[in-house]
Structure 1
Amino acid sequence: IKGNTYYQASYRAGLRVLDINNIDNKSYTEIGFFDTYPENDGTDFDGAWNVYPFFESGNIVISDINRGLFVVRKSD
């Protein structure tokens, strides 16, 4: 979590970026994603394993079980 943004590594669904400003009301909004496993979004243990969004540069690193590291950045 960085501010009110939650960065989630979601295996085959890839990186999911969620706005959690309204989490007290049990509500959140997906505001971005990056699919590291485009073949499918099944529930097996492939794809994004971890995400690190804390670099000053704004880079976000995604570690993927099958494909290694991805470096992405939120678009403006």
Structure 2
Amino acid sequence: MIEPKYGDKGTIEPDIFSIWFNPIFIEVQRNVYTKEVMQKKIDLYEDYYDTGDWKDEPWQKPDKKVFPSILIITPT
């Protein structure tokens, strides 16, 4: 899925969600971001994890709930 939405503005917005053996959130960063900006993105993923909403996604297996890995692709 390209740019799936997981809530209102200010929540996670990965560039791609994919299942390749396991679920993966993919962020493609073409610009150079400061450490603070990247930490904010990571904090948003941690906040999403804490909500537990990911456990209700339709792709989840009923017997084993898995939080997606996060892959950040960046030139630096």
TM category (shorter chain) comes to under 0.3
Q: Which has the higher strand share?
A: 1
Which protein, 1 or 2, shows the higher relative CO under an 8 Å CA cutoff with sep ≥ 6? 2
Q: Which has the higher helix share?
A: 2
- The TM-score normalised by the length of structure 1 is 0.24
